Structure 1
Amino acid sequence: MKPALPNIDLGIDRALSVPVYLQICQRFKTAIAQGHLRSGDRVPAVRGLAMELSVARGTVEMAYRILTDEGYLQVRGAAGTIVSPALPVSVSGVTRAGQARPGTPGAPGAPASPQHGGGTPKPFQLGLPAIDAFPRKVWNRLVAHRLRSGDASAFAYPDPAGYWPLRERIATYLGLSRGVECVPEQVFVTTGYRATLELVLRSLATPDDAFWFEDPGYILARRFLLEVNARLVPVPIDKHGICVEHGLALKADARFAVVTPSHQSPMGVTLSLERRMALLHWAAANGSWVIEDDYDSEFRYAGRPLPALKSLDRHDRVIYSGTFSKVMFPGLRLAYVVAPVNATQRFHEVCASMNAGSPYLLQASVTDFMAEGHFARHLKKMRLLYAQRRDVTARALAEVFGERLAIDLPPGGLQMAARFVDGTDDTAVADHARASGFGEQALSRWYMNAPPQSGLVLGFANVASEDQAMRRALELRRAADA
């Protein structure tokens, strides 16, 4: 779907003379024309889409009214609003049963840590969504339905690139919610971020390539890149995100930049618009690639939702990656990556040589979860829940530690960084706490060359109550005093 001009809203550019409701209309028309939305597909509810785009309900209602009057949508009362089943092929972009129009590229026949140690979730464990709040009954029903269906696809080797209907759903979701323009054949389903990085490197990297890497940066990505002998160039971050000027001074001809722009890991800052444009300019001018890890961008609690870096990319230099582990549950082992248009064929070839693909059952069940609207409802519910759990956790830590701990309250995500201001040895605290079954990590260990800060990186998504938050904060204080 065609993203809007650079701005702070999800593909909606308020600086344009085109009214917002007409921009929404165009986004839906493009999605329908590209086959991302098909006849009979349910579109988001007015209230939900208005919240997603941070616009008034009346704006979305006007857009939906226009689309209905023009024959693109059809209102079904309590059943919601759907893409009109009467759309002609010339408009809908598909023929029968999901088959792409002749000439459409990427039809289904295209070639084909410690924090994740398993076991019972630990207090303050990173990278773990609210396991207690996932709609298990709905999920079990969807999985059971697929098991009973007897679909022959369940018994065959899965497509190495991913289950085609899921790739279509992901492309639609990214277009509507993240402003990312892509088609299903660009979407590749992987078994996690590590597998995503492996696919990208095997497809595009050459020996001795240099990688800009945030300092501090995502520790598990750093470990993997070092394991494969990537040449990392630590680039410091500040309150505006990765310092592009420092990267240019350190290694202007680097081949890759690995970044977490929406919610920097671990500090939680957001890459500013100025830095985003500078990063994209560098990539385009240098012929470099930017790997965007958009790992928990769905959860933002302060201000308007931010567009993906990929939505601003006009030269196809950003490789977008996301995951279902943070929005659903990590046991799925399902993630995805959007390949550059010119590299799609290469990604297909590498996929075919890497593995036999992710399990059909889980991919098909996630497809159903998205198609029936459960995915969007779950995201909406989790945004409210995580905002509450973030605040509860921060209050408990502040009450227990007082001025000893400076808490950087993140505007989004599932984790926070809390910095010791009294010279406390964070590695000793983390080691003591982990010996007691905790899952937080020492902030200083996330640094490479930049002067490390002492602190803790804590996950708050599974803090279920104020009492629990206080108990955990007290136990953490005992570890700090040991």
Structure 2
Amino acid sequence: MAKRKSGALLTRIVIDRSSRAPLFRQIEDQLRGAILAGSLSGGTRLPASRALSVELGVSRQTVVQVLESLAAEGFLEMRRGSGTFVATTIPQHVPQRVPSTVAPGMPGNAAPRVSLLGSRFGAAEVDFVSRENRLFLPNSPAYDQFPFALWQKYVNRQARQAYRGNMGYGDPAGHAPLRQAIADYLALHRSDACDPDQIVITPGGHAAFMVAALMLTDPGDGLLFEDPGPLIARNLFESLGRKLVHVPIDDEGMDFEATVARGGGERLAFVMPSRQHPLGRTMSLARRLRLLDWANANEAWILEDDYDSEFRYTGRPLPSIRSIDRSGRVIYVGTFSKALFPALRLGYLVLPPALVGMFRNAIALMLRSVPLAAQMALAGFIADGHFASHLRRMRELYAERRQAFLVAAARSGAGLFEVDMPDSGMNVIAWLQEGRNDRDLAQRAVEAGVHAYPLGEYGAQPLPRPGLLLGFTGVAPHQLGPGLEALARVLACTG
């Protein structure tokens, strides 16, 4: 009579020999999963390694490697002279892992226990939009005109110059040559001199907003916010538990005086004075000075987002609020996402001296440091004058595309929309007829190959008129006519 194999036969283990995963890893993961799922309970005896190797069609060495690895993890017990057993410390019913395809909180699953901040971030509306082949997508640079070959030289240079000092953690405040290059650029091109030690590098502009909100306000504090205003920034501040006080926009920018006269005790004002998003308005000098007076009198702060201010088509770029601040109440935020490309993920803060240490420590504790390689490449690109040259070329190019857009829009959009073209920036507003649903029309436009943002999504309060936000800087000349005609067809067919 043949000797009977002892132990579990593990018929559920399936080996995929076409997989790139090693055989021992496939067996190990499935055996561990069977134990965690309760299919193999504590004390269950496994077949001998020879029997298992035959059953699974693998070498005995592979099976021994799996068993020894799981024993080291505590899932198995290897008893000399008796065999291999599922560890007796494994309970009969181990909580199963939620499958990766099932999101916590979906019907049939209990919502996970998280922090208040976690629940706010989980509920935030975050819509990722791929920037590839998106006609009229707002805020898109002219990728087709970016000097990739030149930029690659700087990326390669920093790689060749890599040494031990450049392969560790960087200074939390940022790469010193980059901070110097930014300070030189601001002094020369923005009439805003600062010490390089006042600059802290961040992974993009929104990281700068987050750090500033955390450092300067507490949950529940009031924050002046332009209405309509940037949607992602609004969601960020609300998710952090800040109380947004929505302030209307007029031809002089944020009309804050009636709001602050009520004495709400707001701690921070988030403003985009050079080119407000999405309306494109510019804050007047008189209002900038009064905002500074308010901040100084109330020990409040101004978070200045210098949003794509480099692209001004009538005269020089306007000076920042920080450049006229004499009391150290302005935190200036700059970014290279629009001037170069968003994937670079580099931004910066220019801080009053009293805040530098705090912000530097915050970056160190929350982010440790910003990746050094990109900082090194950008520092050389700016220092050698290529950043300023690129901006000059893009201003000329965008001015041409801006004019071409106006001509094409007048031809295609007559009677369907009115173009509001600000003096600066990368976008235009197509104002629609009263009663039109800009959210619905934006969705229909996307289906037709035109990516427009509905203005209604930017406002906390209903806007007096519907409209669509369209980008023109990333649109090649041959795309303008067909794209605007496609938009016109959408508007005409849904009238």
TM-score by length of 2: 0.72
Are positions 1:236 and 2:270 aligned together? Answer: no
Match of 1:148 in 2: 160
Amino acid at match of 1:213: F
Query: 2:188 is paired with a residue of what secondary structure?
Result: helix
Q: Contact between 1:415 and 1:460, CA under 8 Å: does it hold in 2?
A: yes
Q: Give the alignment partner of residue 359 of structure 1, picking from 371, 374, 383.
A: 371
Q: Which runs of 5+ in 1 are unaligned?
A: 1-112
Q: Contact between 1:126 and 1:415, CA under 8 Å: does it hold in 2?
A: yes
Distance 1:225 1:419 in 2: 28
TM-score by length of 1: 0.74
Distance 1:133 1:250 in 2: 49
Amino acid at match of 2:356: T
Are positions 1:477 and 2:483 aligned together? Answer: no
Match of 2:425 in 1: 413
Amino acid at match of 2:486: E
Amino acid at match of 1:140: Q
Match of 2:226 in 1: 214
Distance 1:260 1:121 in 2: 28
Q: Contact between 2:434 and 2:466, CA under 8 Å: does it hold in 1?
A: no
Match of 2:309 in 1: 297
Amino acid at match of 1:247: T
Distance 1:147 1:249 in 2: 55
Shift of 1:377: 0.5
Equivalence map 1:280-295=2 (5 Å): 280-295=292-307
Distance 2:251 2:182 in 1: 31
Equivalenced residues, count: 369
Q: 1:335 to 1:433 in 2, by over 3 A?
A: same
Q: 1:247 to 1:153 in 2, by over 3 A?
A: farther
Amino acid at match of 2:185: Y
Shift of 1:121: 4.1
Q: 1:372 to 1:335 in 2, by over 3 A?
A: same
Q: Contact between 2:216 and 2:268, CA under 8 Å: does it hold in 1?
A: no
Match of 2:132 in 1: 120
Are positions 1:331 and 2:343 aligned together? Answer: yes
Shift of 1:205: 1.4
Are positions 1:426 and 2:433 aligned together? Answer: no
Shift of 1:409: 1.1
Equivalence map 1:223-302=2 (5 Å): 223-249=235-261, 251-302=263-314
Q: Contact between 1:233 and 1:250, CA under 8 Å: does it hold in 2?
A: no
Shift of 1:251: 4.8
Amino acid at match of 1:471: P
Shift of 1:404: 2.9
Query: 2:415 is paired with a residue of what secondary structure?
Result: helix
Match of 2:460 in 1: 448
Shift of 1:262: 0.3
Q: Which runs of 5+ in 2 are unaligned?
A: 1-124
Query: 2:245 is paired with a residue of what secondary structure?
Result: strand
Q: Output one character per residue of 1:169-214: Cα deviation in whole Å (capped at 9) or x when no partner.
A: 1112112222223211211111112201111122221222101100
Match of 1:22 in 2: none
Distance 1:116 1:372 in 2: 34
More displaced stretch, 387-396 vs 435-444? 435-444
Q: Contact between 2:213 and 2:237, CA under 8 Å: does it hold in 1?
A: no
CA-based RMSD = 1.7
Distance 1:210 1:150 in 2: 46
Q: 1:119 to 1:304 in 2, by over 3 A?
A: closer
Distance 2:483 2:255 in 1: 35
Query: 1:188 is paired with a residue of what secondary structure?
Result: strand
Shift of 1:335: 0.7
Q: 1:144 to 1:115 in 2, by over 3 A?
A: farther
More displaced stretch, 259-268 vs 450-459? 450-459
Q: Give the alignment partner of residue 132 of structure 1, picking from 137, 144, 148.
A: 144
Distance 2:429 2:323 in 1: 28
